[in-house]
C-alpha cells in the first residue's frame, strides 16, 4: 500500500469512528511525518524502536514543545493500537522535550479595548465573547443557540479541549447583542426549515443517536451560522448549514490589531490569554481562573501569574534606585 493510500485509509477509518475533523488532520500530519522520517517504510514493518527514535529526533533536532511531542506520540499510539492492531509498549524510552513554554502574549486593557473597537461588524460579537468569556477559537465558532444561558449569565462549552465541558461567565454587555444574533439565527432556521433539501444541523454521532429529532430543532443550531448551505461529505452529502469559517475570524483579529497599531504578535488566543491575566489582576482566585479556562492542571493556569509578576507588579528593578 502506498503512503497516500495508507493515509487515506487511516482518514476513512477515523471518520467512521466519528473523530473530529481537526483531530483527523493532526493525526494524519504526524503519521505522515513519521513515515517520511523512516524512508517511507510501511508502519507495520516498524515498531517501538523506530517510534522512540522519531520522538527523540523531534526533541533533540527539532526542539518541539512538550505538548507538540505529546501530540505526535498520541498520533502514533492511535496508529498502532487502533488502526494496525499492534499496540506500542507502555514503557517507550525516548528523550522528552525540555523546551520551556513561551510566556503568552497579553494585551493591556487599553490595547484590548482598542482592538475590540476596531473589529468589523461581522466578527465583533465573536471577538467579544472570546475575550469576555475566555473561549478558545473553535469553542467560540462552535457555540449553539442553546449554549447561551441568560438566566445564569453564563456560556456552556461542550467538548472543549480534552473533551471537557464547562460553564463560563457571560458579560452583561453582550446580552442584547446575543439576543439580536439569536434573532438572525432564527431567520436562517426558518428559511432552511422551509427547504425540502435541508437535513438539519450537524450533530456528533452519539447525540444524533440519542436525540433523533435534534438536528432540526432550533436550539441545536449554530449561534454563528455560515451564510451559505453546504453538503456534508462525511454524511452522504446531506445539505446543512455549518458554522462560520474560523479563518475569517482569525483574519479579522489580526487586521484589527494592525489598525490599533499594536506591535505585539496578536492572534485569537491572545484574547483568551488577556482574559485570564486581567481576571488575576482584578484579584480573582487562581482556582476560579482555572475553572473558567478549563485547565486540568493548575500549573497551566499559573503561567499567567508569571506574566503579572514579570512586570511592575513584581520585582523592583535596581535601575529605579539610581
Catalytic site positions: 136, 161, 269, 272, 295, 304
Cell 473523530 belongs to which residue? 19
CA torsion through residues 259, 260, 265, 267, sign: negative
Phi, psi of 47 (to 5 degrees): -165, -145
Distance CA 276, CA 294 (A): 11
The residues, ordered by sequence, that sit 6+ positions from 193 with a Cβ below 8 Å of its Cβ are 216
Partnered with residue 240 across adjacent β-strands are 230
CA torsion through residues 303, 305, 308, 309, sign: negative
Cell 517507550 belongs to which residue? 92
Query: In the structure grid, which three cell numbers stand for residue 7, read together?
Result: 493515509
Specify the DSSP class assigned to residue 198.
B
Amino acid at each position: 500500500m502506498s503512503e497516500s493510500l495508507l493515509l487515506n485509509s487511516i482518514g476513512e477509518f477515523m471518520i467512521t469512528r466519528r473523530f473530529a475533523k481537526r483531530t483527523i488532520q493532526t493525526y494524519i500530519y504526524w503519521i505522515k511525518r513519521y513515515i517520511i522520517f523512516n524512508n517511507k517504510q510501511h508502519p507495520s514493518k516498524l515498531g517501538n524502536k523506530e517510534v522512540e527514535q522519531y520522538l527523540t529526533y523531534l526533541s533533540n533536532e527539532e526542539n518541539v514543545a512538550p505538548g507538540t511531542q505529546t501530540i505526535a506520540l498520541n498520533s502514533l499510539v492511535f496508529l498502532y493500537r487502533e488502526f494496525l492492531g499492534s499496540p506500542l509498549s507502555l514503557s517507550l524510552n525516548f528523550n522528552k522535550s525540555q523546551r520551556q513554554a513561551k510566556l503568552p502574549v497579553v494585551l493591556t486593557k487599553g490595547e484590548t479595548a482598542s482592538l475590540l473597537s476596531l473589529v468589523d461588524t461581522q466578527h465583533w460579537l465573536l471577538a467579544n465573547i472570546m475575550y469576555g468569556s475566555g473561549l478558545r477559537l473553535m469553542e467560540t465558532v462552535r457555540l449553539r443557540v442553546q449554549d447561551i444561558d441568560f438566566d445564569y449569565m453564563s456560556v456552556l462549552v461542550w467538548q472543549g479541549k480534552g473533551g471537557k465541558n464547562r460553564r463560563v461567565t457571560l458579560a452583561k454587555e453582550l446580552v442584547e447583542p446575543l439576543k439580536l444574533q439569536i434573532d438572525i439565527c432564527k431567520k436562517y432556521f426558518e428559511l432552511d426549515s422551509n427547504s425540502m433539501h435541508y437535513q438539519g444541523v450537524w450533530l456528533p454521532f452519539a447525540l444524533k443517536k440519542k436525540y433523533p429529532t435534534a438536528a432540526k430543532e432550533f436550539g441545536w443550531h449554530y449561534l454563528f451560522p455560515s451564510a451559505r448551505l453546504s453538503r456534508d461529505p462525511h454524511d452522504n452529502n446531506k445539505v446543512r448549514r455549518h458554522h462560520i469559517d474560523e479563518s475569517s475570524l482569525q483574519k479579522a483579529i489580526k487586521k484589527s490589531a494592525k489598525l490599533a497599531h499594536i506591535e505585539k504578535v496578536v492572534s485569537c488566543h491572545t484574547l483568551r490569554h488577556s482574559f485570564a491575566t486581567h481576571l488575576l489582576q482584578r484579584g480573582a482566585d487562581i482556582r476560579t481562573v482555572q475553572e473558567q479556562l478549563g485547565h486540568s492542571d493548575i500549573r497551566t493556569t499559573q503561567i499567567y501569574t508569571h506574566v503579572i509578576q514579570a512586570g511592575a507588579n513584581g520585582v523592583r528593578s535596581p535601575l529605579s534606585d539610581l
